[in-house]
Structure 1
């Protein structure tokens, strides 16, 4: 019997690396409706402000691709049993998309379906793949209790699309079993979710942390832990700069009159800097910090990239 620990073969590592290499590290320009059910508004604010790029490994990126491929299969399954499915906007050729907050908040549907055995009314469509454990929990408890983030996504989709039902379909990745649930629109909850999105989009400062304890399990597994609880400095982006403002029409304005591209006048929003950075002086175009751990004085004025690069090395 071979008791040697398994080592990932070079060929498999190369496959995973391929997924990492081909991934575009482009931030989504809007706050996504698929995540609005996240209980941590601060994490959503970091996402919207392009404060940090989550580092997904190649295996996980391949898993995302598997989910995308399954969507096409489910659409084919629905059509095979007589359901009419629109998975693309006929005008754009892209996913059916709805917006709020002038476009700062948006959601793309997996599709719209009509002609189900249960109802002839049109439904928004949401497809997911799940491992066996999550699938069984969802099957036993329903989407709202087992997957509240998915449920919120369905609510936003129905609300923005002006529909009253969503057909949620989940595929068990272990057994290929399909779970289906017709979710009703909760108008009051959907409006609260839109209000939540508005508060995040138009907030100049990051919302309160969900937990002050960095070891809390919800925080430890958050992709923004490094900038929220850790010592990392957020990425240099127009959206992490004190000079920019998200406008009601979906655009961004710059107090310096610059086009919204990162420039040499970038000035970090002080409230997103590491917890050990204490503001000791500030003006219209600079902020000075003292590193409480080392006593170092750090002056942010036209040098955000250097500050970011320096902190990434620690």
Structure 2
């Protein structure tokens, strides 16, 4: 019998691409998430909050994340079946969501529960997670605070912002479907520390210190921010990485462009504008800021000096736009005299790689 020639796993690859396209369209999270606030590196949190990079996951991993969300629906149904009252919405009929610091910090609860067998009269924040076998065994051996400190910090934030003083953490071993549950008590001191950390990140106009200045440090070398934090990759170009933008503590998570004296909605924050000028410390691995000025027409310009003394300017033509700085694979080209002469002679010329 003849075999029909066809691309290997074409259907599977199409499914993966579907998830990748959906993820790309989702853009960046607008707020600093409670699910991240327990991360060990404050600089990582700031770079994430400022949209310096968006980690791209392949379709298989995105499906795995989706499986975790499907577990949430399953465990809610099971809790209700054993007589637990599970609330997935707040008193206003909206998904349980909490926010703080002008709407810039917060997250969404998996739900709230009353009637859990361990403490039937106490409301609990619900947090559901899935684990592989190794992670699940570690969780059972150490407990959530030691094994998964980011999950513990997430629950502390949710308890503090809802007024509940207990949380129920329910985990599933993805390999065996075994469940693990743990009640977590509210720690008001830790909650205030996490709130203060979030506010520090939100209010800081520049990136905080790294967790380590060693690129090979174990917490750095596998970090998604490594090329920006320890390498010469320039961050994404959007309003959050622009020196002109400022978060507004208006309760709605707003942002403002100080250059144009206008509010910036989330859509415009993603796209940015031609007036984008990098927050100088975001380029510190490439060059040092030595000067800044306003040019005719209201355009800002920032001069940078590289380690060898050569200079380039982040500004309007004939200088280099932020898009060009990010695109340049070899950053030394930005200060190359011949490249700069071409830019001066042909104002519409653009560096594309």
SS at match of 2:137: helix
Give the Å deviation of 1:219: 1.1
Give the Å deviation of 1:209: 0.2
In structure 2, what is the equivalent of residue 292 of structure 1?
307
* CA distance in 1: counterparts of 2:43 and 2:115, whole angstroms: 40
CA contact (8 A) 2:254 2:263 kept: no
Q: Give deviations 1:9-51, integer Å, cap 9, x for gaps.
A: 4433332222112222411111000010001010110111111
Choose the corresponding residue for 2:257, options 242, 254, 274.
Answer: 254
Indicate yes or no: 2:315 matched with 1:301.
yes
CA contact (8 A) 2:203 2:247 kept: yes
Give the Å deviation of 1:143: 0.4
Choose the corresponding residue for 2:273, options 241, 263, 274.
Answer: 263
Give the Å deviation of 1:90: 5.9
Which runs of structure 2 are paired with 1:125-274 in the superposition (5 Å)? 125-249=126-250, 250-256=253-259, 257-260=261-264, 261=268, 262-274=272-284
After TM superposition, the score normalised by the length of structure 2 is 0.82
In structure 1, what is the equivalent of residue 124 of structure 2?
123
Give the Å deviation of 1:92: 5.2
* CA distance in 1: counterparts of 2:19 and 2:29, whole angstroms: 19
CA contact (8 A) 1:232 1:274 kept: no
CA contact (8 A) 1:227 1:274 kept: no
* CA distance in 2: counterparts of 1:92 and 1:286, whole angstroms: 49
CA contact (8 A) 1:233 1:274 kept: no
CA contact (8 A) 2:301 2:315 kept: yes
* CA distance in 2: counterparts of 1:276 and 1:245, whole angstroms: 24
- For structure 2, the residue ranges without an aligned partner over 5 or more in a row are 1-7, 295-299, 331-351
* CA distance in 1: counterparts of 2:16 and 2:118, whole angstroms: 42
How many residues are treated as equivalent by the alignment?
Answer: 306
In structure 1, what is the equivalent of residue 97 of structure 2?
97
In structure 1, what is the equivalent of residue 346 of structure 2?
none
In structure 2, what is the equivalent of residue 15 of structure 1?
15
In structure 2, what is the equivalent of residue 33 of structure 1?
34
Give the Å deviation of 1:291: 3.7
SS at match of 1:220: coil
- For structure 1, the residue ranges without an aligned partner over 5 or more in a row are 1-7
After TM superposition, the score normalised by the length of structure 1 is 0.92
* CA distance in 2: counterparts of 1:33 and 1:188, whole angstroms: 16
SS at match of 1:15: helix
Which piece of structure 1 moves more, 9-18 or 128-137?
9-18
